[in-house]
Amino acid sequence: MMFCADCGAKLYQVRGKRIPKHLEYFVCASYRKEKGMCTSHRIRNQVVEQLLIEDLKRITAFAKNHEEEFTQVVFNQFEQDLSQKQRKDERTFEEAKARMKSLDTIIEKLYEDNVFGKISDDRFRKMSAGYEAEQAELKTKMHQLQTELNKARENIINTKHFLQLVKRHTEISTINPELIREFVDKIIVYQAEKINGKQEQRIKIYYNCIGAIEIEPNVKMQTS
């Protein structure tokens, strides 16, 4: 459930007999496959675990102690993210629709040129096949976009379910695979960078039911 913030690839777990447990780490799969495809985004397991438990404590404490405010924060974040996605998807959809209309005109003109002998049958078949293939791709793309738009409009955040999770786990002191699966949808890992001479790594955690919540600035940690 960990992904590279730059190329979107999954992070690959690196461990082995010669690697001490406290030095086991994750690395971008694209970078590991071929150097230069992406930067490493290397982050140690212990760092991820520490960042995750700190953020879990922060989010669950806020949700437990300020239930109404928490619900409003989640709703506002959801509306903002949905609005941005809808605008982007709707723009892409309209561009695809306009291109489909242009292709209809081009194919019709090709047919007329073929009928009146301006282009050969072989040339007509090759050109029309190319345009029709593009149309088929656009239709698939438009269908996917429409499905995503409909899903986004129908999607309802479920803060109640998240609050029920919080109440089941009254105090979080350690994390385990079951706890992570219950709370976390995915984790985005950014490339480490030097800030004021110190190496820092940032991650963004998306929680089940509520997404990525910005109660405070994104979680970060010194890694050196």
According to DSSP, the β-strands at 220-222 and 43-44 are: unpaired
- The residues spanned by each domain of the chain are 2-69+173-222, 80-154
Of 82, 69, 68, 49, the closest CA to residue 215 belongs to 69
Question: Is this model's pTM higher than 0.75 or not?
Answer: no
Q: Which of 15, 30, 23, 81 is nearest to 191 (CA)?
A: 30
pLDDT at residue number 152: 57
Helix axes 67-115, 121-154, angle to 10 degrees: 160
The pLDDT of residue 29 is 94
Q: Given this model, what pLDDT does residue 42 score? A: 94
- How far apart, in Å, do the first and last CA atoms of the chain sit? 25
3-state class (DSSP) for residue 37? coil
- What are φ and ψ of residue 170, in 5° steps? -65, -35
Contact call for residues 5 and 41 (beta carbons, < 8 A) = yes
Residue 221 has what pLDDT?
45
Structural tokens at position 155: 């999607």
Profile the chain (224 residues) by mean pLDDT over runs of 10 residues: 94 90 93 88 93 91 88 79 73 86 90 88 88 88 78 63 84 86 94 87 89 62 44
For 6-31, b where at least 16 C-beta lie within 10 A, e where not — what string?
A: beebebeeeeeeeeeeeeebbbbbbb
Q: What DSSP string runs through 101-162?
A: HHHHHHHHHHHHHHHTTSS-HHHHHHHHHHHHHHHHHHHHHHHHHHHHHHHHHH----HHHH
